[in-house]
Amino acid sequence: MTAELPTFTLTFEGRPLTARPGQSVAAALTDAGIRAWRATRGEGAPRGLFCGIGVCYDCLITVDGRPAQRACLVPAAEGMALTGAPPPLPRPSGADEGNAS
Ligand code: FES
């Protein structure tokens, strides 16, 4: 017989997730089947866990209202409220054409 590990609850976009002590936010999201929680500004490509060691910044997420937290480094905690980045804004026309004047 194995002992059950204690769990706690946090939310992502209002959806309850279960996590275990010692898990990072990224691990809790991945365990819940959530692989992407933000999109790139330019193309809107989905982003989530990539390096898993705090180097690439792909996993940025808002934690309890604090934006740009690395999900792979932040320990999951009871009652934590996670939100992904908002959808990217459309680029103004000519934004990539440089300054021609
Ligand atoms: S996954 Fe690379 S910094 Fe978090």
CATH code at position 13: 3.10.20.440
- Whole-number Å distance between alpha carbons of 67 and 43: 20
State how many domains the chain has: 1
User: Strands, DSSP E only, in the chain?
Assistant: 8-12, 15-19, 36-39, 46-48, 60-63, 66-70, 81-83
Mean pLDDT across 70-83: 97
Give the pLDDT score at 90: 59
Residue from 24, 51, 74 whose mutation best tests the ligand 1 pocket (most atoms within 8 A of CB): 51
Locate the ligand 1 atom nearest the alpha carbon of residue 55 and give its number: 3
pLDDT tier, 41 (very low <50, low <70, confident <90, very high otherwise): confident
Which of the given ranges, 43-52, 78-87, 89-98, has the highest pLDDT on average? 43-52
**Segments forming the whole domain that contains residue 63:** 8-83
Looking at the domain assignment, is residue 96 inside a domain?
Answer: no
Looking at the domain assignment, is residue 44 inside a domain?
Answer: yes
Looking at the domain assignment, is residue 71 inside a domain?
Answer: yes
Determine the distance separating the centroid of ligand 1 and the alpha carbon of 47, expressed in angstroms: 10
Helix (DSSP H) and strand (DSSP E) numbers for the chain: 1, 7
pLDDT top residue among 3 and 58: 58
Looking at the domain assignment, is residue 64 inside a domain?
Answer: yes
CA-proximal residue: ligand 1, atom 3 (nearest): 54
Looking at the domain assignment, is residue 37 inside a domain?
Answer: yes
Determine the distance separating the centroid of ligand 1 and the alpha carbon of 59, expressed in angstroms: 5
Looking at the domain assignment, is residue 3 inside a domain?
Answer: no
Looking at the domain assignment, is residue 16 inside a domain?
Answer: yes
Instruction: Note whether 61 and 38 are within 8 A (CB).
Output: yes
Give the pLDDT score at 99: 42
Determine the distance separating the centroid of ligand 1 and the alpha carbon of 48, expressed in angstroms: 8
At 28, give phi and psi (nearest 5°). -65, -40
Looking at the domain assignment, is residue 91 inside a domain?
Answer: no
